[in-house]
Structure 1
Amino acid sequence: MGQADDCGVIFRLADDRDIDALCQIESVSFDVDRLNRRAFKRFVGSETARLCVAEIHGVVVGYAVVIFRRNVALARLYSVAVAPDHRRMGIGRALVAQAEDLSLDFGAPILRLEVAQGNKDAIALFHGKGYQEFALYPDYYPDHSDALRMERVLVPHAMRLPSPIQFYHQTLPFTCGPASLMMAMNALDPSVEMDRSLEIALWREATTIFMTSGHGGCGPLGLALAADRRGFAVEVLRSRDGPMFVDSVRKPKSREVVELVHYDFAQQIEQAGIPVSVGPFGVADIENRMREGQMALVLISQYRIYGDKIPHWVVVSGFDDRFVYVTDPDIGDDHDPFTGSDCLSFPILRHEFDLMARYGRDKLQAAVFVRKKAG
């Protein structure tokens, strides 16, 4: 960055003095879903975004925004635009190349994006750069038009991507477990319809009544029972026996409720013949079971991704020599520019995932494995 190309274009990171020009480019480039001044200002100097501009003779003529997640080896090309008078000069293609370099500098070897299905020029540009379509995002834009999801593996010989599972976004803050279970069951049996009715039904069956704040989340035993009732074979791994999260419940009466729910689940697990293994486990244990055709729901701490000390369920959707591929039902808050495409089979370094899959001071671990029953 900072050096001129053959056409005299300089590429550099944006600063606050560029915002007026960026807003002008945005207003003439897009009819809907425009970035506003506040958004550009947020991207300038952000720790989890890079805003690159193309400049000719001191005039900003284009930009590209790349956004990242902490400890996730995936980036998103959030927006790219070139002023009308400077199109057809290769600036857009060069901005995408700059975005790819920024992604690699951040440690993210996969770059994803959404593009309007009717934007043939942009789609052709991305195809020419080696991007592949992997999904359709219906009703993505404010005008209800669809978006193509595309991605490029920037170091293609370093990894083998898994087949993506169908994504389901949890609709409530406390239904990550049910959403993850739905995705796992649907991957094994596509006739399982993923909708909000099933999401809530699974939550009602599997909740631990964990009441530190708001509604209760779901524990491994409840999720295993819910899958078993729907005809799937299930196995549970836990690092320790007894009720989960009970140490976080302050009121004695509330702790008593959590314990009652746990031991009721434990009795039902025993009656159903569901195997439960107690003891520490690692990435290799999860991978070995997945090689046998099982889908894995794993409890992680959101701290290493979002900075929140909250237990959270995700689906493990694949492995390679370097990465664990994770599908996360939580796409973030309304102001977070990430979407489902960023949460679908995104890569996390194996050692990082091993740290992530331990919750709290006690390094609590839990996983639920789901597979089709034999015959």
Structure 2
Amino acid sequence: MSRGHKKQQDQNAPISVARSLSDIDLPDVAGLGVHKESELNIRSAMLGDITQLVALENASFESDRLSQRRFMHWLKAADSHRVFMVATHNDVLLGYGLVIMRKGTRLARLYSIAVSRQAQGLGVGKKLLLALEQNTLEQDKLFMRLEVATNNTGAIKLYESLGYRTFGTYANYYQGSIDALRMQKPIRQSLSLQTLPTYPWYQQTTEFTCGPSSLMMAMANLNPKLDMSQSLELDIWRQATTIFMTSGHGGCHPIGLALAAHQLGFSVTAYVNTKAPLFIDGVRSEHKKYIMQAVDRQFLQQAKAQGINIIYTDPDVNALQTGLAKGAAVISLISTYQLDGKKIPHWVTVTHIDEDCLYLHDPDPDDLHPQPMDCQHIPIARGDFFRLSAFGKSKLRTALLISKK
């Protein structure tokens, strides 16, 4: 079993924490005569599977089970949102696997996989997982992630044998204070497995402090003694805010964030692809525009006085990659339109760049991806990042390269 919110602990269960199936209304798997993988049928889940899915779920998990309603949600969901497959023999359901997609990224997550205990040892889990990977790859995803209890040695060995590698842990994640391993596999075979760096993550505490939260992650990576706290988050926002935005509280100006980092003892190079006042696209109020333009001028004057380097060009991914390789940290503005369909400017931390992808720490979990795991080292293909990093009609692109003084 692999599920972010389920409490998997049984080290003797290769895939799921299945109890005996003798007490539930499922056919007798032991008498099916399945002797080899070729006799298994792997196919997409269908509405007609609902009864057996719920029965297997109830037998496999002691808590946080998927309800019949949630199963129906995923069965009816568009293919672009999930891959949902079952393993059967003679119409008897032996296992299921559910992968959910992160919109706008090349990342997918193995949300849940369960195999009947009486069917274990028949290769069901392996064949099911490989089919999930293939179908996920066809959705143009590059990476599959999962988490698994550290004492579930059977599942860990299976995942490792299929190319999954550990890139982090969650302490006390499962019932009984069991830690969880975070594992990832590049499912496109031409990719070489990357060992992702250890990088601090912080969840923003307001809807308008993604900039300070991303900056704190970057600075904490450079200085582990930095206290990532709400107090510092709000202090940075007060220093860097644009005052207004199209609606609600103002977000953070890149030069305002650069000034905040400079005041905290870091060197900053700011990339901005325009000299025009920022974020006024879509702001209808002339008063708000006037204030935002005044703030923009003040930030530029203060940056000049502090000697902050501003490069008026699109952020160059190769330059950012070189900076990361030299020990610097990077935050970037993106548009959330590619992720959630909303045209909102959003700051993220770039944790790593390789020949295929940029990896992002997003400080703002959403309803579809509420787990911290889903917000860390999110892979974005290099070819997709240029589009993702453009905000508004003016196609604003901006990033900060932060280093120790």
Q: Please say if 1:344 is aligned against 2:352.
A: no
Write the letter of the residue equivalent to 1:40: F
1:228–1:234 Cα contact (<8 Å) kept: yes
Whether contact under 8 Å (1:159, 1:321) holds in the other structure is no
Alignment of 1:122-161 (within 5 A): 122-141=155-174, 146-155=179-188, 157-159=190-192, 161=194
- 2:18 is matched with none
CA drift of 1:338 comes to: 5.3
- Alpha-carbon distance in structure 2 between the residues aligned to 1:282 and 1:52: 41
- Larger-Rg structure: 2
User: Does residue 301 of the first structure (1) align with residue 335 of the second (2)?
Assistant: yes
| Other-structure match for 2:399 | 367
The structure-2 alpha-carbon separation of the partners of 1:202 and 1:61, relative to structure 1 and needing over 3 Å to count, comes to same
Select the residue among 26, 37, 46 that pairs with 2:68.
37
Q: Which residue of structure 2 aligns with residue 62 of structure 1?
A: 95
For residue 99 of structure 2, give the secondary structure of its aligned residue in structure 1.
strand
Contact kept? 1:160, 1:320, Cα under 8 Å: no
Shift of 1:274: 0.6
Who is 2:135 aligned against?
102
Question: Once the two structures are aligned, what percentage of the paired residues are identical?
Answer: 39
Structure 2 partner of 1:17: 48
Would you say the 8 A contact 2:369–2:375 is kept in 1? Answer: no
Aligned runs of 1:162-173 on 2, under 5 Å? 162-173=196-207
Q: 1:319 aligns with which of 347, 353, 357?
A: 353
1:48 and 2:78 are equivalent in the alignment: no
Which position in structure 1 is the counterpart of 2:323? Answer: 289
Distance 2:53 2:293 in 1: 56
Residue aligning to 2:120: 87
CA contact (8 A) 1:75 1:103 kept: yes
Q: Report what 1:267 is aligned to.
A: 301
Could you tell me which residue of structure 2 aligns to residue 232 of structure 1?
266
- Give the Cα separation in 2 of the matches to 1:231 and 1:16: 58
User: Could you tell me which amino acid in structure 2 is paired with residue 327 of structure 1?
Assistant: H
Q: 2:237 aligns with which of 192, 198, 203?
A: 203
- 1:74 and 2:104 are equivalent in the alignment: no
Is the partner of 2:114 in helix, strand or coil?
strand
Equivalent residue, structure 1, for 2:228: 194
Deviation of the 1:369 alpha carbon: 1.1
SS in structure 2 at match of 1:247: coil
Normalised by the size of structure 1, how large is the TM-score?
Answer: 0.90
Counterparts of 1:223 and 1:145, CA distance in 2: 39
Instruction: List per-residue Cα deviations over 1:214-266 (Å, max 9, x = no partner).
Output: 22211101111111111000111111124211232222222222223222222
Contact 1:178 1:199 in 2 (8 A): yes
With 128-137 and 218-227 compared, the bigger mean Cα shift is at 128-137
Secondary structure of 1:107 counterpart: coil
Q: Is the 8 A contact 1:139 1:147 kept in 2?
A: yes
Matched letter for residue 401 of structure 2: F
Q: Which amino acid aligns with 2:375?
A: C
Segment drifting more, 185-194 vs 224-233: 185-194
Tell me the equivalent position of 1:354. 386
Question: Secondary structure, in 3 states, of the residue corresponding to 1:174?
Answer: coil
TM-score by length of 2: 0.84
Q: In structure 2, how many angstroms separate the alpha carbons of the residues matched to 1:254 and 1:232?
A: 31
Q: Deviations over 1:321-362 (max 9, x none)?
A: 2222222222212xx145322332222221210111111111
Q: 1:160 to 1:268 in 2, by over 3 A?
A: farther
1:167–1:156 CA distance, 2 compared to 1 (3 A): farther
Equivalents in 2 of 1:57, 1:366: separation in Å? 57
Please identify, of 61-70 and 196-205, the stretch whose mean Cα deviation from structure 2 is larger. Answer: 196-205
* Higher alpha-carbon deviation: 225-234 or 89-98: 89-98
Q: Which whole-Å CA distance do the structure 2 matches of 1:181 and 1:318 have between them?
A: 15
More moved, 278-287 vs 15-24: 278-287
Question: Could you tell me which of 147, 162, 179 is aligned with 2:213?
Answer: 179
Farther-moved stretch of structure 1 (46-55 vs 170-179): 170-179
- AA in 2 matched with 1:332: D
8 A contact 1:131–1:152 mirrored in 2: yes
Sort the Cα spacing of 1:20 and 1:200 in 2 relative to 1 into closer, same or farther, 3 A.
farther
Aligned length: 368
CA distance in 2, matches of 1:12, 1:5: 17
Select between 217-226 and 30-39 the one with higher mean Cα deviation.
Answer: 30-39
| Cross-structure match for 2:275 | 241
Q: What amino acid sits opposite 1:254 in the alignment?
A: K
Please, which moves more after superposition, 34-43 or 9-18? 34-43
CA RMSD of aligned residues (A): 2.3
Query: Structure 2 counterpart of 1:125, which letter?
Result: L
Cα distance in 2 for partners of 1:109, 1:282 equals 23
Which moves more between the two structures, 230-239 or 14-23?
Answer: 14-23
Structure 1: stretches of 5+ with no match in the other structure? none
Change (3 A) 1:337 1:279: closer
Change (3 A) 1:249 1:5: farther
Q: Which moved more, 1:98-107 or 1:75-84?
A: 98-107
